[in-house]
């Protein structure tokens, strides 16, 4: 048997082995296990601020770790830094390229980053007397879909070139390239301990990566279309994904499989963004039909809606 | 690209696929019942710190509009 044939055979055998192991672990699903849990209390959600200032579509936003400041990115060619408590704009950063798709706030609050169809991730220092570009990270061969700072010296990016990368902000070079997806990487989420991250891609797979050794540790399947949004559960043992297949899913990392699917026959728009409430109990998911649905993450039931905007919701952050 | 180079690329790709599958096949998996129990426990423990779930007293809510003050 040629080597190619042998490897195909081994690959099939391994896939069968993985499926069997997952099945053996599947003694229940999340919704059934949570059937005895009291329904999530109905909270009245009130709009407290409407932040006006951008002149074109807003593609992304990210909270600062102080839970007060936030950065938003618009295809009007600007990043705006907002004080959410007062509603005031604190800073405006003009972008070289207005085709921005993502923005990020460093945990220190000192830096922000943006990127998009320019294939680059540009990092800005907010603390210098005049906001300065500190680095232009240029190595991806596809659009920048997401960026997240680990610190003031390291940033993670995901790209339409199907790779994710960890960059050294002092040298401006890629330290590690994460190779395994076969479709555009659309989103990423850092684990709370920052030792790993998950990525979602147009190959309909979510992957868990070890940041330090660059290895893909686990692959989560089940979605039937692009994964546009992904987030770690605050407990760090699960991830939530949102997809163009109109569903969100929870995958448990230690069980290595999908444990619940958030879907409704009436929903036929793709999920474009999502985030979780502080305890993880509530999932806020934005859809292409301009709605935001709120799901009980344990019971799999829709528990509310945020119906306000007239345009598609591109980002939700709790 | 010569067909020899192409087939050696395909073999290299196949080797990487098999290697990746070996890594993924060898992990320890816990039962979904245990995973679910841990998730429910986490949510329960942290529910009281979740303002979107439990609400937040007006005095602690930084987003609540303050009533206007009159200077006497």
Residues B54-71, mean pLDDT to the nearest whole number:
76
Total number of residues shown for chain A? 318
Break chain B into its structural domains and give their ranges: 1-56
| Rounded Cα–Cα distance for residues A290 and A272 (Å) | 10
What is the model's pLDDT at position B63? 86
Q: Which residues of A touch B28 (CB under 8 A)?
A: 254
What is the model's pLDDT at position B10? 86
Alpha-carbon separation of residue B49 from A33, A277, A299, A306 (angstroms): 23, 10, 20, 22
User: How many CB pairs below 8 Å do chains A and B form together?
Assistant: 152
Break chain A into its structural domains and give their ranges: 54-167, 180-317
- Is residue A70 within 8 Å of A81, Cβ to Cβ? yes
Q: Which among B22, B24, B63 is the top mutation candidate for probing chain A, defined by the most A β-carbons within 10 Å of its own β-carbon?
A: B24
Say if the Cβ atoms of A85 and B31 lie within 8 Å. no
Residues B56-61, mean pLDDT to the nearest whole number:
86
Q: Where does residue A199 fall: left (phi above 0), alpha (psi -120 to 50 degrees), or beta otherwise?
A: beta
Nearest Cα of chain B lies from the Cα of A309 at a distance, in angstroms, of: 19
Q: Which residues of A touch B34 (CB under 8 A)?
A: 254-255
Question: Under CATH, which number does the domain A180-317 receive?
Answer: 2.130.10.10
Q: How many CB atoms lie within 10 A of CB A5?
A: 10
Angle at alpha carbon of residue A35, lines to A29 and A39, rounded to 5°: 125
Contact with chain A for residue B56, Cβ under 8 A: no
Residue B8: pLDDT band with limits 50, 70, 90:
confident
Q: Which among A25, A44, A181, A216 is the top mutation candidate for probing chain B, defined by the most B β-carbons within 10 Å of its own β-carbon?
A: A25
Say if the Cβ atoms of B46 and A279 lie within 8 Å. yes
Q: What is the mean pLDDT of chain B?
A: 87
* Topology (CATH) of A54-167: Methylamine Dehydrogenase; Chain H (2.130.10)
Say if the Cβ atoms of B29 and A235 lie within 8 Å. no
Count Cβ atoms within 10 A of the Cβ of residue B31 and give its class: 0-12 exposed, 13-18 middle, 19 or more buried.
Answer: middle
Pick from A303, A250, A298, A235: which is nearest to A34 by CA?
A: A298
What is the model's pLDDT at position A311? 46
Residue B72: pLDDT band with limits 50, 70, 90:
low
**Hey, is B61 helix, strand or coil?**
coil
Nearest Cα of chain A lies from the Cα of B68 at a distance, in angstroms, of: 14
Do the domains spanning A54-167 and A180-317 agree at the CATH topology level? yes
- Supply the pTM of this predicted model: 0.93
- CATH of the structural domain B1-56, one choice from 3.30.420.40, 3.40.50.720, 4.10.260.10, 1.25.40.10: 4.10.260.10
Count Cβ atoms within 10 A of the Cβ of residue A38 and give its class: 0-12 exposed, 13-18 middle, 19 or more buried.
Answer: exposed
ipTM of the complex: 0.90
Q: How many CB atoms lie within 10 A of CB A166?
A: 19
Low-confidence stretches of chain A (pLDDT beneath 70): 1, 43, 308-318
Across A156-165, b (16+ Cβ under 10 Å) vs e yields bbbbbbbbbb
């Amino acid at each position: 048997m040629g080597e190619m044939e042998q490897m195909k055979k081994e690959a099939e055998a391994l896939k069968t082995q993985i499926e069997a192991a997952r099945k053996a672990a599947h003694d229940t699903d999340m919704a059934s296990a949570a059937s005895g849990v009291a329904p999530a209390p109905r909270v009245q959600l009130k709009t407290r601020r409407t932040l006006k200032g951008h002149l074109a579509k807003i593609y992304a936003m990210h909270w600062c770790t102080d839970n007060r400041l936030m950065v938003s990115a618009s295809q009007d060619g600007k990043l705006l830094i907002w004080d959410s408590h007062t509603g005031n704009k604190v800073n405006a950063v003009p972008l070289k390229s207005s085709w921005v798709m993502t923005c990020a706030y460093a945990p220190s609050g000192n830096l922000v980053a943006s990127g998009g169809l320019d294939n680059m991730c540009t990092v800005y220092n907010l603390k210098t007397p005049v906001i300065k570009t500190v680095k232009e990270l240029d190595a991806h061969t596809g659009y920048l879909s997401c960026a997240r700072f680990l610190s003031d010296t390291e940033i993670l990016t995901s790209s339409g070139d199907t790779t994710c990368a960890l960059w050294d902000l002092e040298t401006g070079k890629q330290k590690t390239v994460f190779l395994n997806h076969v479709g555009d990487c659309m989103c990423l989420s850092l684990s709370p301990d920052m030792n790993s991250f998950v990525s979602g891609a147009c190959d309909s797979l979510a992957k868990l990566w070890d940041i330090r050794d660059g290895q893909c540790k686990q692959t989560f399947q089940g979605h039937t279309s692009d994964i546009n949004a992904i987030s770690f559960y605050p407990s760090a043992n699960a991830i939530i994904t949102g997809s163009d297949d109109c569903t969100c899913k929870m995958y448990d990392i230690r069980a290595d499989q999908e444990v619940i699917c958030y879907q409704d026959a009436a929903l036929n728009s793709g999920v474009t963004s999502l985030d979780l409430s502080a305890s993880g109990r509530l999932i806020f998911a934005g859809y292409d039909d301009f709605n935001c649905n709120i799901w009980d993450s344990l019971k799999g039931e829709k528990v509310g809606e945020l119906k306000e905007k007239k345009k598609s919701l591109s980002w939700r952050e709790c | 690209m010569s067909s020899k180079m192409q087939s050696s690329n395909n073999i290299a790709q196949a080797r990487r696929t098999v290697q990746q599958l070996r890594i993924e096949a060898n992990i320890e998996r816990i039962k979904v019942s245990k995973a679910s129990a841990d998730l429910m426990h986490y949510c329960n423990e942290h529910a009281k710190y979740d303002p979107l779930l439990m609400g937040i007293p007006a005095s602690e809510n930084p987003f609540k509009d303050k009533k206007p003050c009159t200077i006497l």
